Structure 1
């Protein structure tokens, strides 16, 4: 079967949608760098990363946790991370008794220490349990970070996240793919800042810039 010009245009546009979304993240490079630096500081002070999301966001949470716990690059330091979506018994038990909105907040409350970090993933920023998880984390003094898409939804507008990274696309496939790229960059830069810390006293847990970082 011959390839028509219409097919070629469709393929070009499919890649162009991804390229536009990825390039838009370059405009957030400063915020991404600050988030990675904040996370590296917390890891150096004994903090762990707590990650959560629903559906595909849940598999992303597991992916992120294993990247930190078992780095694919030989010689990179393993850093403590846990994905709250992995425990089906706890998720379903909390959901049954307390409601689905509390599935992550309940676990954050039990797992978290003040030096920890919480990363919530929601394709459109409208997952109530992800927002509640970040709200709980914020109340406990954790560093909080959100990955969203589209217009960011309530999650991007909430003060629950110190840093918000929103993929400017309404295509769920594009959002998913750029999220994967974003957290691979996150992993890479956290290690850069971890291995090359600034001068003494340059950063301490709790030193995030809050609204200014958003």
Structure 2
């Protein structure tokens, strides 16, 4: 019988990661989010996650909007599906090119990300929440570890719903709020023009952005936007 890290129980750090991810899910769902799940190499995991959240197994628990995205062009599927405030949950290894691309672009789409996997960890900051089994055994995805992760996520999310006062986001009431001031935001170029401007998708929606500092730019490239100007490119996985 295969023994994996999950068989030895959840350590304190992993338990805290699960609790933090569930709290984020509860806040996003309370605000009207849809969850989109992907698992390029293990599509049944994506489908299982969606079923877990949309079809409650305990009477009285609310159904939550969740959809599994499958197919060969996952980056494009997520791009056209996700809305600002939504959630993307991925199940894959850290080297999966499609998932890496989705994770890099999700801040520009306004999506919160959760990455479930095993083996070598993804780079720090690649996802908002990383739920990981530090076990190099390639058979781990076929064991119950990942299933336990999203079962616990579902249960803990509903625990958070029982404390609705924690799920509201404070609103700025001052004339000037540092938190709400313009900052460097990730954007994905939608279309570029010859006049030094481009339509860029950010978490705020589509914006007309000056691109003279980073030209030339093309559709799909990532840039940092500040005060209506693309101030730098973001290099990395396509």
TM over 0.5: yes
* Corresponding position of 1:167: 133
Q: How many residues align?
A: 170
Match for residue 31 of structure 2 among 30, 45, 57: 45
Q: 1:164 to 1:17 in 2, by over 3 A?
A: closer
The structure with the greater share of residues assigned to helix is 1
TM-superposed deviation, 1:104: 1.9
Q: RMSD value over aligned CA atoms?
A: 2.2
Report the structure number with the largest CA radius of gyration.
2
Q: 1:150 to 1:203 in 2, by over 3 A?
A: farther
* Corresponding position of 2:160: 193
Tell me, in whole angstroms, the C-alpha distance in 2 between the residues paired with 1:200 and 1:51.
Answer: 22
Q: Tell which deviates more after alignment, 169-178 or 129-138.
A: 169-178
Tell me, in whole angstroms, the C-alpha distance in 1 between the residues paired with 2:22 and 2:120.
Answer: 23
What is the CA deviation profile of residues 118-165 of structure 1, one whole-angstrom value per residue up to 9, with x for unaligned ones?
11110x31111111122222221111110110122xxx2053301111
* Corresponding position of 1:3: none
* Corresponding position of 2:226: none
Task: Give matches, 1:84-99, under 5 Å.
Answer: 84-85=69-70, 91-92=71-72
Q: Secondary structure of the equivalent of 1:41?
A: helix
Q: Secondary structure of the equivalent of 1:118?
A: strand
State yes or no: 1:19 paired with 2:13: no
What is the CA deviation profile of residues 49-100 of structure 1, one whole-angstrom value per residue up to 9, with x for unaligned ones?
01101232x1101000011111122221100001101xxxxx24xxxxxxxx
TM-score (norm 2): 0.65
State yes or no: 1:65 paired with 2:31: no
Tell me, in whole angstroms, the C-alpha distance in 2 between the residues paired with 1:182 and 1:16.
Answer: 14
Tell me, in whole angstroms, the C-alpha distance in 2 between the residues paired with 1:203 and 1:37.
Answer: 16
Tell me, in whole angstroms, the C-alpha distance in 1 between the residues paired with 2:100 and 2:44.
Answer: 18
Contact 1:149-1:166 at 8 Å conserved across structures: yes
Q: 1:109 to 1:200 in 2, by over 3 A?
A: closer
State yes or no: 1:109 paired with 2:73: no
Tell me, in whole angstroms, the C-alpha distance in 2 between the residues paired with 1:107 and 1:35.
Answer: 23
State yes or no: 1:132 paired with 2:67: no
Higher relative contact order (CA 8 A, sep 6+): 1
